[in-house]
């Protein structure tokens, strides 16, 4: 139940971040066309600033989320586990935010961006490794698990909190209790020794999405509707 709560909460907040940032970026893009046409700045500095300015907001969001959830769930109060929990959630919320920005960059407006982003929510959900653990995913589909960002989030959250727990739990269908550390290795296929590499993957994914947002802004072209909005602003 605790694992399900972690998964559902991070997915809900991540999708909320993605959905709320899309109309903001779409409105700012119209202003950007005007200022770019006036020669105030180029596309790349604007994209970098747009990416960087999201970091403080997500940092504050992750701080109060981590404090509330960590205390409510009753995780072990150690600095290492708390910071790992914060790290995984911070980069998870951040890549969802950048994913929303990226969808706006490749679509004409935020309505289309919302539809495009929603296409992948079900895939993120299906291949996250929570509903269908990695050992049970068909071999010809397991490749998508390894490139699914939510899978790395679930991996980091579970292993950071339970990867070294030697307590036991009762598993339906098992006559004897099972050690938690062994259970997550057997059922989810998670190796605690691979935890650091999994968290680095979140960091690399964050960098990839940042780069895509910057490149897509740099190569953006004004659509007919964007030109109309630009004329309205000028007039």
- Looking at residue 130, its pLDDT comes to 87
Give the DSSP H or E segment for 169: strand 168-169
- Which tens digits make up the pLDDT trace of 122-166? 888 888 888 888 889 888 898 888 888 888 888 888 888 888 888
- DSSP characters for 111-165? HHHHHHHHHHHHHHHHTSSSSS-GGGS-TTTHHHHHH-HHHHHHHHHHHHHHTT-
Average pLDDT over the chain reads: 80
Give the DSSP H or E segment for 167: none
- What is the CB-side half-sphere exposure of residue 147 using CA atoms within 13 A? 6
Q: In this model, does residue 235 exceed pLDDT 50?
A: no
Residue 173: DSSP 8-state:
T
Q: What is the dihedral of CA 88, 89, 91, 92, to 10 degrees?
A: 110
Domain boundaries, the chain: 2-234
């Amino acid at each position: 139940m605790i694992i399900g709560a972690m998964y559902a909460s991070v997915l809900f907040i991540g999708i909320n971040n993605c959905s709320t940032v899309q109309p903001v970026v779409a409105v700012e893009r119209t202003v950007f066309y005007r200022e770019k046409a006036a020669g105030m700045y180029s596309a790349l500095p604007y994209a970098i600033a747009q990416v960087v300015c999201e970091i403080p907001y997500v940092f504050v969001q992750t701080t109060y989320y981590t404090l509330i959830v960590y205390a409510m769930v009753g995780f072990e109060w150690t600095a290492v586990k708390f910071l790992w929990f914060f790290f995984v959630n911070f980069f998870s919320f951040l890549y969802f935010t950048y994913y929303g920005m990226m969808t706006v960059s490749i679509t004409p407006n935020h309505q289309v961006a919302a539809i495009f982003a929603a296409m992948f929510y079900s895939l993120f959900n299906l291949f996250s490794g929570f509903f269908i653990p990695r050992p049970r995913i068909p071999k010809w589909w397991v490749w998508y698990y390894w490139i699914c960002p939510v899978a790395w989030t679930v991996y980091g959250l579970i292993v950071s909190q339970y990867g070294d727990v030697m307590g036991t739990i009762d598993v339906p269908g098992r006559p004897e209790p099972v050690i938690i550390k062994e259970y997550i290795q057997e059922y989810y296929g998670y190796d605690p020794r691979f935890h650091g590499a999994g968290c680095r993957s979140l960091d690399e994914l964050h960098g990839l999405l940042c780069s895509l947002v910057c490149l897509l802004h740099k190569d953006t072209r004004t659509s007919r509707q964007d030109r109309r909005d630009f004329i309205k602003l000028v007039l």
